[in-house]
Every structure is written in C-alpha cells, then in structure tokens.
Amino acid sequence: MVYQEEKLIEIRRELHQIPELGMQEFKTHEYLMTCIEQLNQQWLTIKQIPDVPTAIMVRLQGYAPDKTIGWRSDMDGLPVLEATQLPFASQHIGQMHACGHDMHMAIAMGILAHFADNQPRDNMVFFFQPAEETIGGGIKVYEAGVFQGIWQPDEFYAFHDQPALATGVLSTRQGTLFAAAAEVRFTISGRGSHAAYPQKGLDAIVAGSALVTQLQTIVSRSLDPVHNGVITIGTFQAGEAGNIIANQAVLTGTIRTLRQSDIEVMFKRVQEIAKGVATMFAVEVLVEIEQSGYLAVENDTELVNDFIRFMAQSSFEFEVAEPAMTGEDFGFLMSKFKGMMFWLGVGDMAHPLHHAKMTPDESALKIGVDASVAFLAHRMESKSYV
C-alpha cells in the first residue's frame, strides 16, 4: 500500500505518543513491525538482530539489481518533558520525540511502503536504528556483523528534520554537514578540609575552575583558525557545604569539530591540559572521552553532487546548507559505506531541536517521502554517476 498523507500523519502521531530512550525502543519496535507486516511482502525480507533487539532491518529485492541502496531511520526519543499540549503528546512522561525521530520513522515507512508496492530496480535495505541520541546505535549494529553479504549497502542515505528551515525545503552541502562529536568527563580528586584551613586541603573546585578556563584555549590556540571547533563544559558538580574544602569535582561536557583530524588534536590537548592542572594543584584528574560512532558526517562527493543536481532540476525546494555542529552517529556508517545525509525543513522557527515545544509541520512528511522516492528512483535509473 502506498501511503497517502493522512496515513503518514497517523503513523507519525502514534509514534510521537510512545517515545522511548536508546536501546529501550520496544513499543516503537512493535509498532513499526506491525506497519511493516501490513505491507506487500512479495519482495520483503525482515531481519531481527539479537544483539540489538530493538533494531529492525528490511530488505527489498530489486528486479534488475546493480547495487544495494540503504536508508537509515533513527528511532529513539529524548529525556525531555513535553510541553506542546498537543492532543497526541507523549504518553511517556519525561520522554519526548523532541528531535523529530517520529518524523524520520514515518517518512522511512512511507518510502518503504512505496517500493514494497513498486518493486525497485536495485536492492534496498532499510535500517531502523535505536540509540542515535545516546550510545551510537549504528556502531552497535555494525559491530554485530549485520551489514554483510546481501545486507551490505553500496550507497547509504539518511536525513534529519530541521525546524529552522521552511517546511519541505531540502538542504545539504558538499563535504562536512554535521560535526564529529565526543563526550568528555573529568573526575578531580583532591583532599577535603575545613574551609578555615585551606592549606590542609587540595581544593577540587579551584582545580576544576582552572581546568574549565584552560580548556577554552584549545580552540583559539591549538586549532587552525580557519577550522571550526567547540568545547563546552555543561556540568560541574562539587562540594557538600560552604565551609568545607571540596575533595572531589566531576565535570562533563562535549567536544565538536568539523574534521575528525581536528577532534583528535583536541583529545590530545584535553589530556595534556588535565595533566598540567593535576600537577599545578597537586590533585588527580581522570579524563574519560567517548566518541563512539559520532564521527563527522562527510557527504560522499559523487552522491551529494548528484543529489544537489537532481533537486535543482526538480520541483522540490532546495538550498545549500551551512555546516552544523550537530552530532550524528550516521557519520560512523558513512565512514564504512559510501553515504550522504541531508536536512528536511519542518518549519518550527520558534523551537529548535531538543526543545520541549518543538512541533514539526506535518505537511513536510509527504514532501519528504516524495522527494526521497524520486531521488532514489533516479539513482536506480542512472547508469552514469559523475
């Protein structure tokens, strides 16, 4: 069954009511499986992944395949208390599809439904991925050995909704679209004492404050000035009372750059600065850095040029994107397979991604399906890829 706009909206709204955090998407998995099982099964093969039980793989057999085209849709929600007041708001208190993954899944289902009724020329693999927001579900599935043999894509595509873009506008760019991203955690261990006798303690708060200040020199003094990077310390937890020297501080933050080589420079400098702070204040500083699968999303030159050219000649609205410091674990899969990612405008200028009131314009659903189906069909028909 080819989905009409009303069906896409229905799927999106039902998914919106059941957001689940990474690796806990069991209701979402069940709902998607019900939708998939209602499709024409003639060319479909469904694969479950025991090591990542909420993930779903669906393969479509092409009628004259030269390659396999992959499509990724993330599934998880965020730990956000929804404040939209919508009649179909989240039923899971404290969890919300504030990043629009409900839109992603509905559009992926629309594309899958189209090709289930209209057998594609090339083979297709649809990957419904858990845990994009947390541990990088893409790398977990890759490490489970799933993308092999008939499940290995020759081209891999994904998109992300963008409330800052007008509804239905498609946007991407050559080179890096989204940043490489990593999480960092510092545990500073000093020695507590009475606040009146600071000389008897090793103040973790003073050391942590110096650490925060010194970390801010990395971008300005260790990266090429024409490159982009950011390091943000978002939490600083220390101390038990105003008259006690804190014996421990825990700081967490994020590091982002538009080049993998630059983030590796930042990792090295973070370690060096932490070591220097430890020496200066006679404390211990444990540094934990986790990048997982959040590599830079670097569009394949051939695929992105063809996408831009196709959209420019179509009736769909398109504009060239600026690079963003947004992290996306599709970057890992793009480091393994030839791939491309793009934005889809959903027209909520007042509320950015991850906002408790983020409300995508649902008329973007049909546009997203139509544009994606048209481009994928073009990729199957074209024999000369420049």
Residues with catalytic roles: 74, 133
101 is in an annotated binding site: yes
16 is in an annotated binding site: no
- Beta carbons within 10 angstroms of residue 13's beta carbon: 16
Handedness of CA 298, 301, 307, 313 (dihedral sign): positive
Q: Cα separation of 46 and 126, whole Å?
A: 10
Three-state DSSP state, 176: strand
Helix ranges, the chain (H): 5-16, 26-37, 101-117, 137-143, 204-215, 217-222, 260-281, 301-312, 330-336, 364-381
Run of H or E residues at 235: strand 229-238
Q: Are 355 and 205 in contact (CB under 8 A)?
A: no
The one-letter amino acid code at 207 reads A
Structure tokens at 228: 């982009």
Q: Are 140 and 51 in contact (CB under 8 A)?
A: yes
Q: What is the full DSSP assignment across 264-326? A: HHHHHHHHHHHHHHHHHHT-EEEEEEE-TT---EEE-HHHHHHHHHHHHTSSS-EEEPPPEEE
Query: ∠ at Cα 329 (324, 334), nearest 5°?
Result: 90
Q: Cα separation of 99 and 328, whole Å?
A: 12
Short-list 49, 159, 170, CA closest to 110: 159
Helix 5-16 crosses helix 101-117 at what angle (to 10 degrees)?
140
Short-list 359, 364, 345, 365, CA closest to 82: 359
160 is in an annotated binding site: yes
Q: Cα separation of 191 and 200, whole Å?
A: 8
Binding site residue list for Mn(2+): 99, 101, 133, 160, 354
Binding-site residues, in ranges, read 99, 101, 133, 160, 354
